[in-house]
Structure 1
Amino acid sequence: MSMAGNLRKVTGLGKVGGLRKVARLARRRPRVDLSHPARSPLGSSVVNCVTYQDGVRVPGCADLVDAVRLVRKTGEGFVWLGLHEPTDREFAGIAELFDLHPLAVEDAVEAHQRPKLEHYGDTLFAVFKSVCYVEHEQLTATSEVVDTGEIMVFVGEDFVITVRHGRHGSLGPLREELEADPQQLAKGPAAVLHAIADHVVDDYLNVTDAVQADIDQVETEVFSENGARLDPGRIYQMKRELLELKRAVVPLSRPVEDLATRPIRVVAPEIQAYFRDVSDHLIRAKEQIAAFDELLNSILQAHLAQVTVAQNEDMRKITAWAAVVAVPTMVCGVYGMNFD
């Protein structure tokens, strides 16, 4: 079957409308035959491909085209496709099948995006920055405290595509949690989007709690007996890592607020109520980060003051010893002269 016939059968479009749509897509991307597994572009980047109906996983629908065909034929359920760092070639057929906008596809493949929410027709595209706390025995001036990744989400009326970049942020446990709650999963793709947003923001709070422990450690050492000897590079490193966390958290405020308040076609009002809870948690994370930044500034100023006091104390000691040594030096100098 040709690519046009395959897409017409999957999407349910008529002959004329289907051919026009295929022609339009063909101008944007190369044709890829998804109907033949041997030529499928889905490679090692695919983490999972699952069909859900009434909140329950449908067995035997691991093939993407078959899964989409089933959902659009019955008009029930949705497909959740999970990818990890896909290439342009791997994503080309997926983008064509779901009619994804080229700009969103480029962002999803290239990564390094700010958190955002964009609308492309009936498809919603969201970008989240995932964070992970890096365990370390001792905080140094070069310690990596916060590691970041990215999760891109395409949401349509009958599909969710998640694209993950980075070493952490696996959505496997989240998928299992959702499957354990069919009633929530039955609310559709928007329920998956909410679960991902909630998961990401909860990680923000977990990381801020861990970062607080590091800041408390630095604060304790600064005000210890040998606080003036502390390497100030450790404080600067904490500020740099906190800035990395801030870049992930702060820009997400507007997208989450839009999801919680603005009417969006693929997000039902009942789901928006859940996003309001996510927004509250995000505000809490932002407030903690702002408080940490102020605290680190205070710690740095206190440390610099301690260093100044220690230097003044050293100068007083040097001056005192110089005065003590000056007297015998003068006497020796005078009586050591040759007199007639």
Structure 2
Amino acid sequence: MPDAKKSAATGLQRGDRLRVPVERSIEHCRVFADGDMLAGDYTVRHAIQVAKERGGYVWLGLREPQKAHMENIAEAFGIHELIVDDAVTAHQRPKVERYDDQLFIVIRSVTFTDDEQVDDTHEVIQTLGEVQMLLGPNFIITVRHSAPLPGAHELDRHRQLASTSPAALAYLLADRLVAHYVRISLLLEDEVDELETTVFTPGTNFNIDKIYLYKREVLEMRHATDPLAPALQALIRDHKDIIPKQIRSYFRDVLDAELQVKDRIGGFDARLSSLIDASVAKVTMQQNKDMRTISAVVGLAAVPTLIAGIYGMNFRNMPELEWEYGYYGALAVMVVIMAALVWWFRRNHWL
């Protein structure tokens, strides 16, 4: 009886070899038809039937499905078997792959933590999540791994566009993810500008470790986002029979935003490298200045030490020992020489 209830909940019958509760990985199952998203949440089989009858398509949202889940979903939608393994494997590079009349798209998600108390163990940018989209003629399956994804209620403004085709919905989701890249790149720009101001302002103290931290985080973001540009270019260029002309135009807008992010992040990488070089040079110059100051102080201390050492040798035949004003004369010589050294050191900016 429990198995029957699970089968009924997902819309897959026992004959479909359902062995695990697929509903655990299903976040929603919606149907787009007649220029709108139909009300209610459907079971998989029912959604496929309704979409077929009304000439629409199914949007199935999954969250970190197991392989057994994907095998049952693949059987219901007729998904190519090679997609199943990719769909359950996280941490993939952004890519677009084609299997017959189906497309498999992977886009990494990026999150930014604005924390002033940054240390070596703190991750400012996290790129562990990803969104996978499986596009078929009458369905789109979104699979998210540790990544946020807009729900149906967040797409209300674009219901009419989303209802036109699975590719249109794929564009809307890709646009959301890339728009988040843009926001993060702007936040990073503020951080890099602040670091530059700190490094190049005279007399300010700065932590070079923070520059290394942002350098590492920017490189991580580049690894997660840079491969998306050639993937989108391939999507627009090589799959015109699956992606309608209008949607290709929309994807070009996503590509433009991605290329801007790519250029901006690449600029941050170069700027941070320059900041590291400037910081090292500034630290080296400060160390040299400190060493000059220390040397000057040691030189000033050496003069009275030298004179006192000479007159502390206790020889009998030292003319100045019997001089009435010898002590005051020695002190005067010390002061004159030290004053001359102070003048010379300051003239040469050692003090």
TM-score (norm 2): 0.81
Displacement of 1:117: 0.2
Displacement of 1:323: 1.0
Query: Paired residue for 1:62, among 42, 55, 69?
Result: 42
CA contact (8 A) 2:199 2:206 kept: yes
Mapping for residues 62-211 of structure 1, pairs under 5 Å: 62-72=42-52, 74=53, 76-148=55-127, 149-166=129-146, 168-172=147-151, 175-211=152-188
Displacement of 1:130: 1.0
- The one-letter amino acid paired with 1:169 is P
- Structure 1, unaligned runs of 5 or more: 1-31
Q: Which residue does the alignment assign to 1:6?
A: none
- The one-letter amino acid paired with 1:234 is K
What is the aligned length? 304
- The one-letter amino acid paired with 2:86 is D
Alignment partners' CA distance in 1, 2:26 and 2:43: 11
- Structure 2, unaligned runs of 5 or more: 1-9, 317-351
Higher relative contact order (Cα pairs below 8 Å, separated by 6+ residues): 1
Displacement of 1:304: 1.0
- The one-letter amino acid paired with 1:316 is R
Alignment partners' CA distance in 1, 2:300 and 2:50: 95
CA contact (8 A) 1:51 1:77 kept: yes
Q: Is structure 2 residue 278 aligned with structure 1 residue 302?
A: yes
Q: Which residue does the alignment assign to 2:13?
A: 35
Displacement of 1:39: 6.1
Alignment partners' CA distance in 1, 2:310 and 2:121: 57
CA RMSD, 1 decimal: 2.2
Displacement of 1:320: 0.6
Displacement of 1:181: 3.0
| Cα distance, 1:86–1:226 mapped onto 2, change above 3 Å | farther
- The one-letter amino acid paired with 2:222 is K
Query: Paired residue for 1:280, among 256, 268, 274?
Result: 256
TM-score (norm 1): 0.83
Displacement of 1:64: 0.6
Q: Is structure 2 residue 202 aligned with structure 1 residue 222?
A: no
CA contact (8 A) 2:11 2:45 kept: no
CA contact (8 A) 1:139 1:214 kept: no
Give the secondary-structure state (helix, strand or coil) at the position aligned to 2:61: strand
- The one-letter amino acid paired with 1:337 is M
Alignment partners' CA distance in 2, 1:66 and 1:139: 50
| Cα distance, 1:213–1:276 mapped onto 2, change above 3 Å | same
